[in-house]
Structure 1
Amino acid sequence: MFNNLKSAWKTGQQFVVSLLGSAGRSTDNEEDAQSGAALSPQTILRKREDLAAQMPSAVVAAYSNEPLEPQDPRFVGREEELARLIDALEDWRNGRASLTAITAPHGAGITSLLNQVRSKILSTETLSYLSLAKRPCSAAEALRFINSIFEFEQAPESVAEMVLAIKNSPPRVIIIDDGHMLLSRKMGNMAAVQTIGAILVATQHCHCWIVGCAKQAWRRLSFLYQSDRFFNRIIELDYFSASEMSEMIERRFYGLGFEWCERLELEKDKPDPMPVRFKQLHDLSNGLPEMAFFFLLFAMEKEPDADAFRLSEFSHLDTSVIKSCSEEELFSLAEIFVHGVMAHVDHETLFRISPEQSVLRLERLCRAGILHRIATDEHYTSNSYYISPILAQAMVSHLVLSNRLY
């Protein structure tokens, strides 16, 4: 009997390894999706890789989803939000408390907005910009994170010592991105959040703190720790409006020197057809740039003898795979969505399941195109997972309707 159990365990391990090796690969018999069709998340993954080889590299790069650098001419909209951030800087310069949070749904451009603030810093001012790469799950880890900003030679070992050291350091603007990493279900997270919160509140007259955090994580932090009560400003971003989306597409396109065939062929005194097309793109993406950019690129057809593109019918997202998720998978997706990124070991601990059960659930969702895996060179349990940004809106809507997200 022992040998049978040992054999079964070994077979299970081999299956997990095989699954990890094959996850993310599309099946050979999958039909090529055409423009105008409903595309599954898995098909979108495959087609995105194809676009890089089929389209001019400059066009693909123009519609990249990477955050925009300071003063990038492709930055569009956000005038009101940027003005409020400049007000936060002015408060700090005039000796008033300045503790600001920026929240937005996934993919709405928090990092790009934070990058624009960097260009507003005066040459005489000091800026510290960093992203939370790891979740602090104890007071000691929180203190080490704060110390990484100021780099004190003798690292303070208590909140009181840290506050005193920060107050005695030269004033600076401190921007912290990926604030969703403050949220964790591990023991010690409360101590970590309270430690960082206490330091920010106690030093807000000396330094200008700006924290960017995904919307759902901010809601959870506010519910658990009342974090929203301690910030002077809370700036809420949303996805882009139809006019902003149109300007974003146009600005990126014409910076490459191309034209739209529809405009070149336009008869005199006829209305420009492109605003209507861009409005269609906004409606199907609901203002989410990553989705809009993919469906735009997928519909673009290069004219062989001209520096021009024609737009075919736009495709749209097939959400049936999301609706087919099991109850256990929905609970996992809800927690991963709120946390932003979740390590395999955290998923295993949170749901009190075995490593094999955890990886099977996570990798099934990867194969479906719902999750993306951040792989490491170590054991598979060191991998992390996040929800594909292109699915952000559809996922949150389904989780809310399913009473898995509030």
Structure 2
Amino acid sequence: MLAEFFRSLKERERQTTVDAAGRLAEADALLEKAFAEAAAEFDSGLKRLTATFDLASADRPCSGAALKKTADEIDGFLVFLGKKMQPALERELFQFAPKKKLVLSLVENVLRAQQEAVAALPAELIQPRHGLRLLPPRKIPLRALVTRVLPSVEDLSSHPLVRGYEETYAASAAALAALWRGVRFHLETAAAELEEGVSTSAVEPAEVEDLFPRLDGARMLTLAALDDARKKLFTLGAALRDFLRTIPSGMEEEWVLLHVAPAAELEWAGFLRSRFLRFGRSLKRLPTRLSRRLQKLLAQERRDWVQYVGGIRSRLVALKGRLAALLGWETPPEQTLLQFTDLPSPAEVLLRAEKLPLLFRRLYTLGPLKNREFLVAREDELTTFEGLYQRWAAGRACSVAVIGPEGSGKTSLVNSFESEFGFEAEVDRKIIARRLRGESDVLHLFAEWFRPGEPFGGLDEVVEFLHSRPGKILIIEQGHNIFLRTIGGRRGVEAFLYVLMATRRHLLWVVTFRKVAWQRLDYLLGMSRYFTHQVPTLFHSQETIRAAILLRQETSGLPLAFLPREGEPAADSAETKKSLEDRFFHELFVASGGNIEAALFYWLLSLDYDAEEAILKVSPLAKLSYGALRALDQKYLFALAEVVSHGGLSPEEHGSIFRCTLLESRLVLGYLAQLNLLMIQGGKNCELPVSYTFNPIFFGPVTATLQSMNILY
């Protein structure tokens, strides 16, 4: 009986193995072909661009036309990369995505064959009791016992082979995305460098030779990136193919278990009596075992209690330190704190960053992102945008407020939304550059946006005009400029919201607001009622800040070394290096308050490039003291609070709020700017009037200080 079962089992194992081997061989061949074709395209591009650079280098003196032609060739390859190479390889790779169930179907085939073999077993096996003839024969439910070792269909999704393939595929897909991102950024940087040098072709011939270093730098960036990508492609393809080759051996283990299951169950039945005897002997030793176990538990409890008390003590010490920094108490003489006024301005940090390698410098001084390639931890926000778009496309009323402090990534997020959905609907982007103080300002703004030279006579005419045009996505930045806290200041807000409410089924309104300005508007006017969705942009954990920084770092390819504080031992072990890295990003998150622009500022401030070792050294962050902030006169504190609450103020607007002269307003705002707390925008060479905005690098600590003093709410 069992011999027949094992013969059937062996035959089914052979059939499933042959079937799996055929499907896996086909998958392996397709993957090899796809990655080989992509590598060949990189090789072809490498040869073509090498020839282009050689031709440009042979042009003496180097001309702007040669640089322009080379930049155009790079741009052409970038277009080819984005429209053909990347989609083609990703399309081939998608055939083997976990959702296509290649590995899951193989495991399901094994389970199905095993179930068919087990179904042929008898439901019960009659076994006589040797030496106990008075007792009836033992009935062993053999089929049920053997079935018990088989996994259920529901458990297959967490099967080791399925889970391992999902992890390998995810790692390969992430590595491939990093490869595309790195190649694209290297080539875009090289093309930008060449295009910046095109204008120098008109200068004196003696200065034209300066173009050759620019050309050589672009050549090195471009050719090294393509060569590196070609080599990495084979590694990426090998990782996925190697895992597929391990699947047959993993399937064999599934069959081995079923081969031994019947014998194991029978052995268990035969030794059942001896188990009972062992259990009786174990009962005699139970008190001794319990005593030993209890002693171990008590010892562990003592250790846990000591650790808990120590943790409370360390937290109290840390709390005391934070309170001391917040309240401006004297610091111990051995701890020297920097005042916030000692920090360089963002412009000075950018000048300091000129010493860093070109590619690395561009990675951290890009400004708002154009797409989601470097966007981190925004999956939920983009999912919200996707659901919002589908809701609006179905004809439902939709409007979204994107909320965050200066430099928190609002523009990057809406740029990514536009890049994802801009091909599905028309996108119109506008900026509220001037303060709206009443209905007339709102009418003038809409006329400037949608009907230049032909003013609107009223809000209803604006609504009627917008409804007469095709529906579209309307992205509006600097929404905080719709309000000024003066008598009658809310009329402009009400007029703007009237148009928004009347058209949000026809237009998808996406409006960005600075965080504190939104909070005040919501407190005074209930702004959240007029927006169906609110999307915050401030990061809330140090891991997201770390990921955003290191994603750019990985693209540069430069190694990092986190340095200890002065007087601390050097980082020798991997554990110590990891500890220094963790400490740095914790301090970076605290200093930046989750603001990505502030985090990038402190990151660049901490970097030093060692050209000899070709490594970036990251110095520990200096601790800052904000005690001087609390010592400011009240007129400066209240002015600072109003700048934060409005998202920025001009001297005229400051004078309207505080009812003081224009000169007094300039003195107050100018003093805060000299303290590095405010930044000046607009001016002589700009159509917009001078305005003062809050310096984003101080957002977290300064707003917390103002709130603790009940000045900001």
TM-score of the two chains, using structure 1 as the length reference: 0.82
Would you tell me which structure has more helix in proportion to its own residues?
2
Q: Write out per-residue CA displacement over residues 130-167 of structure 1, whole angstroms, 9 at most, x where no aligned residue.
A: 22111122212202222344337744311111111111
Instruction: Determine whether 1:202 maps to 2:502.
Output: yes
Give the 3 Å change call, closer, same or farther, for CA 386–42 of structure 1 in structure 2: farther
Range 40-49 or range 206-215, more displaced:
40-49
Larger strand fraction of residues:
1
The residue matched to 2:669 in structure 1 has which SS?
helix
Q: Which residue of 2 aligns with 1:219?
A: 519
Is the aligned partner of 1:333 residue 2:640?
yes
Give the equivalent residue in structure 2 for 1:369: 676
Which residue does 1:68 correspond to in 2? 369
Q: Is 1:107–1:290's contact at 8 Å kept on the other side of the alignment?
A: yes
- Per the TM alignment, residue 208 of structure 1 is displaced from its structure 2 partner at its CA by 0.8
Contact 2:558–2:615 (CA<8 Å) still a contact in 1? Answer: yes
Correspondence for 2:412 among 112, 123, 131: 112
Q: Deviations over 1:191-236 (max 9, x none)?
A: 2211111111111111111111112111222233222212211223
Name 1:247's counterpart in structure 2.
Answer: 547
- Please point out which of 30, 33, 38 is paired with 2:338: 38
- CA-CA distance at 1:39 after TM superposition: 4.6
Bigger shift: residues 47-56 or 93-102: 47-56
CA distance in 1, matches of 2:468, 2:460: 12
Distance change (3 Å), C-alpha of 1:43 and 1:101: closer
Where does residue 7 of structure 2 map in the other structure? none
2:442 is equivalent to residue 135 of structure 1: no
Instruction: Return the alpha-carbon distance in structure 2 between the equivalents of residues 377 and 64 of structure 1.
Output: 25
Q: Give 3-state SS (helix, strand or coil) of 2:343's partner.
A: helix
Structural mapping, 1:166-205, within 5 Å: 166-186=466-486, 188-205=488-505
Q: How far apart, CA to CA, are the structure 2 residues paired with 1:334 and 1:262? A: 37
Matched residues in 1 for 2:556 and 2:339: separation? 28
Q: Which amino acid aligns with 2:353?
A: A
Deviation at 1:325, TM superposition (A): 1.2
1:302 aligned onto 2:609 = yes
Cα distance in 2 for residues equivalent to 1:386 and 1:302: 32
1:268 is displaced (CA, Å) by 7.4
Q: Does 1:164 align with 2:473?
A: no
Deviation of the 1:297 alpha carbon = 2.1
Bigger mean CA offset, 390-399 vs 350-359: 350-359
Q: Is the 8 A contact 1:65 1:289 kept in 2?
A: no
Distance 1:122 1:386 in 2: 31
Aligned length: 368
Q: Return the offset for 1:383.
A: 2.5
1:59 aligns with 2:360: yes
The CA distance in 1 between the partners of 2:528 and 2:498, in whole Å, is 13
Is 1:398 matched up with 2:701? no
State the SS of the aligned residue for 1:209: strand
SS of the residue corresponding to residue 255 of structure 1 reads: helix
Secondary structure of 1:146's match?
Answer: helix
Matched residue, 1:345: 652
- Change in Cα spacing, 1:79 to 1:268, as seen in structure 2 (3 Å) is closer
Deviates more, 1:362-371 or 1:202-211: 362-371
2:590 corresponds to 1:290: no
Q: What's the secondary structure of 2:421's corresponding residue?
A: coil
Residue 690 of structure 2 is matched in structure 1 by 383
Q: Which amino acid aligns with 1:361?
A: V
Contact persistence 2:406–2:696 (CA under 8 A):
yes
> 2:356 is aligned with what amino acid?
M
- Distance in 2, Cα, partners of 1:277 & 1:400: 27
Percent identity at matched positions?
24
CA shift for structure 1 position 305: 1.4
SS at match of 1:119: helix
Retained in 1: the 8 A contact 2:677–2:695? Answer: yes
Displacement of 1:287 in angstroms is 2.1
Query: Is the CA contact (8 Å cut-off) linking 2:593 and 2:699 kept in structure 1?
Result: no
Q: Which runs of 5+ in 2 are unaligned?
A: 1-335, 564-570
Q: How far apart, in 1, do the equivalents of 2:393 and 2:682 lie?
A: 43
1:315 equivalent to 2:606? Answer no
Residue 391 of structure 2 corresponds to: 91
Work out the CA distance in 2 between the residues paired with 1:359 and 1:62: 36
Q: Secondary structure at the match of 2:590?
A: helix
Residue 217 of structure 2 is matched in structure 1 by none
Q: Deviations over 1:318-363 (max 9, x none)?
A: 3233222111111101111111111111112221222232222222
Change (3 A) 1:258 1:323: same
> Is this contact kept in 1: 2:682–2:691, CA < 8 A?
yes
Indicate conservation of the 8 Å contact 1:246/1:278, yes or no: yes
- Which residue pairs with 2:450 in the alignment? 150
Assess, with a 3 A threshold, how the Cα gap between structure 1 residues 359 and 202 changes in structure 2: closer, same or farther: same
Query: Which residue of 2 is the match for residue 278 of structure 1?
Result: 585
CA contact (8 A) 1:290 1:389 kept: yes
Letter in 1 for 2:546: S
Amino acid at match of 1:284: A
Paired AA for residue 60 in structure 1: R
Structure 1 residue ranges, 4+ long, deviating more than 6 angstroms after superposition: 268-271
Q: Which amino acid aligns with 1:260?
A: L
The whole-number CA distance in structure 1 between the counterparts of 2:671 and 2:453 is: 47
Q: Which has the higher contact order (CA 8 A, sep 6+)?
A: 1
SS class of match (1:130): strand
Q: Distance in 1 between matches of 2:468 and 2:682?
A: 42
Determine the C-alpha separation between the residues in 2 that align with 1:299 and 1:156.
53
Cα gap change, 1:55 to 1:202, in 2 (>3 Å): same
Q: For structure 1, which runs of at least 5 residues remain unmatched after alignment?
A: 1-35
Which is greater in Rg? Answer: 2
**Separation (CA, whole Å) in 2 of partners of 1:177 and 1:375:** 17
User: Is structure 2 residue 536 aligned with structure 1 residue 236?
Assistant: yes
- 2: CA distance, partners of 1:368 / 1:269: 40
CA distance in 2, matches of 1:162, 1:372: 35
User: Is residue 341–residue 386 contact of structure 1 (8 Å, CA) maintained in 2?
Assistant: yes
**Cα distance change on mapping 1:39 and 1:55 into 2, 3 Å:** farther
| Native 8 Å contact 1:295 1:316 kept in 2 | no
CA distance, structure 2, for counterparts of residue 240 and residue 307 of structure 1: 33
Please list the CA deviations of residues 90-142 of structure 1 after superposition, one character each: whole Å capped at 9, or x if unmatched.
11111111111122233321111111110122525211112211112221220
CA contact (8 A) 1:295 1:315 kept: no
Structure 2 distance, partners of 1:42, 1:272, is 30
Contact conserved, 1:180 with 1:213, CA < 8 A, in 2? yes
Shift, 1:279, TM fit: 3.1
